[in-house]
A and B are shown apart, each in its own frame.
Chain A
Amino acid sequence: MTTAKIDTNEVLVDCQSVWKIFGKSAPAAMNAVVQQGLTKTQILQDYSCVVGVSDVSLQVRRGEIFCIMGLSGSGKSTLIRLLNKLITPSSGKVFVKGKDLSALSPAQLREVRARHIGMVFQSVALLPNRTVLENTAFGLEVQGVGKAERYKVAERALAKVGLTDWASRYPSELSGGMQQRVGLARALTADPEVILMDEPFSALDPLIRRQLQDEFRQLTKELGKSAVFITHDLEEAIRIGDRIAIMKDGVIIQVGTAEDIVLNPADDYVAEFVAGISRLHLVKAHSVMTPAASFQAANPDVDLSRLTKTTAGADINELIGLTMNSERDALAVVDNDVVVGVITLRDLLRGVQGIPNELAASPSATVLEPTT
């Protein structure tokens, strides 16, 4: 599994080899899994139980947007409900801010849900008999916050999602996109550190969806919130997520940044998913560049200092633009004023295909005629 390239500070949600088995004899099935290591199919045959989530471990850090991508039936909706114990795991532990959810009393669990871990649903679930403002203030109302105070906070949250003018309307008067904004505002009102997003934008049309994706990411980053975002759409996961987990049949088969997953898919299943994704904004210079030393070895007569400079974090789209404007067919990747690599045309093409630069296998930059 590839390592994440984000700063590893405080872990807010920690999921440790969590299982969820559905069915009447789920405890017996769980025992059989632990003791005999039965497979999903065997469990279905012998115990007529369905394995929803199978041995999942993941950590969500402060400020991080963690996407879980999977098709329907992959267990992603079950998994997100394990994180706030809407569903109780058959085995394994979930820690939220260091607290083991299974060890909490009902009152403590309510406290954690009310203050630390919010949730936004695909169906939005706005109470039809309440105004937008009353819906937004619901979390605080439940906590017993006074009317004036909770409406003040709710109005601020509505302002953040651009719905100030709609506060006194009823949910049925709002469009789908607006309703989902209210759902987000409601989750933000309680000011939790982590927001669980259960396919919130799946039911919206593409244009509104993209707009909300960008707004959501911006807002979450601005407020410094963490989010677990469930989606069946890899492009959405890539747009929004700092890290992405790919889930299939209840198992997480790969976790990593979008670039990791596109460049090094863990198996054929992931590779197939990734195949249709445009690499232009995903693949960065550092993944495809030819190291400066090996480039110099192959082309001793090229003066690296005369190449157009770029950074290790520049994406393929940027690199193509730079190359087009450059007089030369190569770019120098500079890190701390040192040329660490060279982007050749061949590297660019590889980047478009999404193949990382594996030095050994590559014949490496042979043809390059600098136009000096």
Chain B
Amino acid sequence: MNTPDFSEPFDAAIDSGLEWLSENGEFVFDTLNTGLSGIYKAVLWCIAFPPYYVIALIIGLIGWRVIGSRFAILAGLALGLCALIGLWPETVSTLALVITATVLALVVAIPLGVLAGLAPAFDRVVDPCLDLVQTMPPYIYLLPAIALLGYGPATALLATFIVAVPPALRLTSLGIRMTPREFIELGDASGVTGWQMFFKIRLPFAMPSIMAGVNQSLMMAFGMVVIAGIVGSGGLGESIYGAVRTLDIAKSINAAIAIVILTMILDRLAQAAARSRVGEGQ
């Protein structure tokens, strides 16, 4: 075996690089850490402050508005169940993590996706990066995050953010690129400016694809937030991780039920929101 001759110095270089980064970039990462945990805490405070039945009622009402009464009742009852099995604080902090990470990811992914859709050159650069991010096992992102940001929700947020960006970016770029040719011609023949072409023609046609991307990002974020229990994300992920370590099957199943409830509610809400946007014209 000759490979270690090469791999040892390579590994050493990576390690020292990371060390150098954490020493010299301390200020940057501290700021990032403070910023991320600050946002997370603010979101968490908003959801955790009211008692559980208020949150269940609010989500039920939203569900009633966008989907229907049956979904609203089921969603409200299911959230009540989360509280009854004693996992309400964990449910709330998972919800806060998912919402924060998804929103942050969308703020970055949608503008970049638009750019990639409009500029093929940029797309050629972004595409392999997304391939890389998406082929790696998601928990890989926990390692550098924990090295640079330490144990806690900021690390979980960063790793979740990284995983949630690609789907929204990809589908936004696809939607922007897929504008039917005759509508581009219509715009040109009507004398539209570049901005008008984007907002009046490309964006409306891209909306279904963008909303599908939002939904996908949300689901990716959910998966990652649970995995991020390992790095002290708090919430249901950490409950499951703790239960796995102590082989507490009952507790792990309780937490799993809460996760499934939360996932299904958010997924249905996001899908319905996407449909109502797209369906305006039908």
Are B182 and A123 within 8 A (Cβ)? yes
Q: Which of A86, A127, A170 contacts B189 (CB 8 A)?
A: A86
Specify which chain A residues have a CB less than 8 angstroms from the CB of B191 in the assembled complex: 109-115, 139, 142-143
| A113 with B185, Cβ < 8 A, contacts A129-B280, A129-B281, A172-B282 known | no
| A125 with B204, Cβ < 8 A, contacts A84-B189, A114-B191, A170-B282 known | no
Q: Judge if A151 is at the interface, Cβ distance under 8 Å.
A: no
Q: Judge if A201 is at the interface, Cβ distance under 8 Å.
A: no
The winner among A111, A121, A127, A170 for most chain B CB atoms within 10 A is A127
Are B192 and A142 within 8 A (Cβ)? yes
Are B188 and A127 within 8 A (Cβ)? no
Q: Judge if A75 is at the interface, Cβ distance under 8 Å.
A: no
Comparing B193-201, B221-229, B231-239, B261-269, the segment that makes contact with chain A is B193-201
| A172 with B281, Cβ < 8 A, contacts A113-B191, A129-B204, A143-B191 known | yes
- Please measure, in the bound complex, the distance between the C-alpha atom of A141 and the C-alpha atom of B280, giving whole angstroms: 20
Interface string of A103-128 (1 = CB under 8 A from B): 00000011111110011010101011
B186 to chain A, nearest CB (A): 4
Q: Which of B188, B204, B280, B282 contacts A86 (CB 8 A)?
A: B188
Number of chain A residues whose Cβ lies closer than 8 Å to a Cβ of chain B: 28
Specify which chain A residues have a CB less than 8 angstroms from the CB of B183 in the assembled complex: 125, 127
Are B189 and A119 within 8 A (Cβ)? yes
Q: Judge if A130 is at the interface, Cβ distance under 8 Å.
A: yes
| A127 with B282, Cβ < 8 A, contacts A86-B188, A142-B192, A142-B196 known | no
Q: Which of A110, A115, A196 contacts B193 (CB 8 A)?
A: A110
Query: From residue 126 to 168 of chain A, which have CB atoms closer than 8 A to chain B?
Result: 127-130, 138-139, 141-143
Are A121 and B185 within 8 A (Cβ)? yes
Interface string of B13-38 (1 = CB under 8 A from A): 00000000000000000000000000
| A138 with B190, Cβ < 8 A, contacts A123-B182, A127-B183 known | yes
- Please measure, in the bound complex, the distance between the C-alpha atom of A175 and the C-alpha atom of B1, giving whole angstroms: 74
For the residues of B in contact with A, the DSSP-based class is helix
Specify which chain A residues have a CB less than 8 angstroms from the CB of B280 in the assembled complex: 129
A117 to chain B, nearest CB (A): 8
Are B189 and A130 within 8 A (Cβ)? no
| A190 with B190, Cβ < 8 A, contacts A123-B182, A125-B182, A142-B196 known | yes
| A118 with B189, Cβ < 8 A, contacts A125-B183, A127-B204 known | yes
Are B190 and A113 within 8 A (Cβ)? yes
Query: From residue 155 to 184 of chain B, which have CB atoms closer than 8 A to chain A?
Result: 180, 182-183
Number of chain B residues whose Cβ lies closer than 8 Å to a Cβ of chain A: 18
| A114 with B186, Cβ < 8 A, contacts A129-B281, A170-B281, A170-B282 known | no
Specify which chain A residues have a CB less than 8 angstroms from the CB of B192 in the assembled complex: 110, 142
Specify which chain B residues have a CB less than 8 angstroms from the CB of A84 in the assembled complex: 189
B15 to chain A, nearest CB (A): 49
- Please measure, in the bound complex, the distance between the C-alpha atom of A130 and the C-alpha atom of B186, giving whole angstroms: 14
21 contacts between A and B (CB under 8 A): A81-B185, A109-B191, A110-B191, A113-B188, A114-B191, A115-B191, A118-B189, A121-B182, A121-B185, A121-B186, A125-B182, A127-B183, A129-B204, A130-B281, A142-B192, A142-B193, A142-B200, A143-B191, A170-B281, A172-B282, A196-B189
12 additional contacts (CB under 8 A) given A125-B180, A129-B280: A110-B191, A112-B191, A114-B190, A118-B189, A119-B186, A121-B185, A125-B186, A127-B204, A129-B204, A139-B191, A142-B200, A170-B281
Which residues of B line the A interface, CB within 8 A? 180, 182-183, 185-186, 188-193, 196, 200-201, 204, 280-282
Which residues of A line the B interface, CB within 8 A? 81, 84, 86, 109-115, 118-119, 121, 123, 125, 127-130, 138-139, 141-143, 170, 172, 190, 196
